[in-house]
Amino acid sequence: MFNKILIANRGEIACRIIRSAKKMGIRTVAVFSEADKNAQHVLDADEAAYIGLAPASDSYLSIDKIIEACKKHDVDAVHPGYGFLSEKGNFSEALEKENITFIGPPKDAINAMGDKITSKKVAESAGVSTIPGHVGVIDSLIEGEKIADSIGYPVMIKASAGGGGKGMRVARNASELKENFSLAKSEALKSFDDDRVFIEKFISNPRHIEIQILGDVYGNYVYLGERECSIQRRNQKVFEEAPSPFLKSVVRERMGEQAILLCKAVGYYSAGTVEFVVDRDQNFYFLEMNTRLQVEHPVTELVFGVDLVEEMIRLAAREKLPFKQEDLKPRGWALESRVYAEDPSKKFLPSVGRLTKYKPPDNSVSEDCIIRNDTGVFEGSEISIYYDPMIAKLCTWGPDRNTALIAMRYALDSFVIEGIAHNLSFLSALADNQNIISGEFNTNFLEKEYKNCFSPLDLPDNLRLQFAIIAVCVSKLCQSEFVEPELSVFHGNQPKSDLIVSIGESHFKLSAKRYATEFVVMDEKNREWTVNIDWNRNTSIARSSINGEERVSKIKREGDNLLINYRGFKSSAKVQTLREAELRNFLIQREPEDVSKLLLCPMPGLLISLNVSVGDKVTAGQPLCIIEAMKMENVLRAEKNGIIRKINFKAGLTLNVNDVIIEYE
Q: What residue type is assigned to position 266 of the chain?
A: V
Instruction: Classify 651 as helix, strand or coil.
Output: coil
* Nearest residue to 13 via CA among 294, 379, 335: 294
DSSP code per residue over 600-637: E--SSEEEEEE---TT-EE-TT-EEEEEEETTEEEEEE
Question: How far apart are alpha carbons 117 and 158 in whole angstroms?
Answer: 10
The H-assigned helical ranges of 400-502 are 401-413, 424-431, 434-438, 445-450, 461-478
Q: What torsion, rounded to 10 degrees, do the Cα atoms 83, 85, 89, 94 define?
A: -160
184-209 in b/e form (b: 16+ CB < 10 A) is bbbbbebbbebbbbbbbbbbeebbbb
Say if residues 352 and 322 touch (Cβ distance below 8 Å).
no
What are the two backbone dihedrals, phi and then psi, of residue 648, each rounded to the nearest 5 degrees? -95, -10
> Which residues pair with residue 554 across a beta bridge?
541, 565
Residue 288 known to be catalytic: yes
Sign of the dihedral through C-alpha 490, 492, 493, 495: positive
β-strand pairing of 27-33 with 47-52:
parallel
Number of H helices, E strands in the chain: 17, 40
Q: Interior CA angle at 363 toward 323 and 77, to 5°?
A: 50
* Nearest residue to 531 via CA among 523, 519, 543, 542: 519
Say if residues 318 and 380 touch (Cβ distance below 8 Å).
no
The residue from 288, 296, 311, 633 that is catalytic is: 288
Exposed / middle / buried, residue 607 (Cβ in 10 Å: 0-12, 13-18, 19+): buried
Say if residues 628 and 597 touch (Cβ distance below 8 Å).
no
Residues with catalytic annotation? 288
